[in-house]
Amino acid sequence: MLRQVLEPDDGVLARLGDFFEAAGEKAKEVEDDDGFDLSYDLAGAAAEIRDLAEVLQAAEARMRALTPPASTPQPPLSPIRTPSLPPRALPTVPPRHTR
């Protein structure tokens, strides 16, 4: 799952950076001071997200280096089984009398 977040081209963080960059370009189209200010803010957010992605990619590589290789495969966890209960009878509704 970490790959889905950190993938440099199609990961969640890369797409989020693209989103903020595109939103900044859209804000520039307003051709207003607030639009330009917003576009700079959004471009800054995109850059921060991309920087964060790089830091996390490096952290992932460091974590993998700390993890010792598995010498023997671990057995899969057995699924938790819940006892099946007998079906319960539904309550009956007394018939209505019309007057």
Per residue in 8-38, pLDDT (tens digit) is 888 999 999 999 999 999 999 988 889 999 9
Structure tokens that stand for 62 in this block: 């460091």
Q: What is the mean pLDDT of residues 66-76?
A: 67
86 belongs to a structural domain? no
The pLDDT value recorded for residue 79 is 56
Q: What is the mean pLDDT of residues 3-9?
A: 87
What is the rounded distance in angstroms from the CA atom of residue 64 to the CA atom of residue 73?
17
20 belongs to a structural domain? yes
Q: What is the mean pLDDT of residues 2-6?
A: 85
Stated pTM of the model:
0.61
Domain range enclosing 8: 2-66
89 belongs to a structural domain? no
**Domain count across the chain:** 1
51 belongs to a structural domain? yes
List Cβ neighbours of 24 (8 Å cut-off, separation of 6 or more).
38, 39, 40, 41, 42, 43, 46
pLDDT tier at 61, thresholds 50, 70, 90: confident
97 belongs to a structural domain? no
79 belongs to a structural domain? no
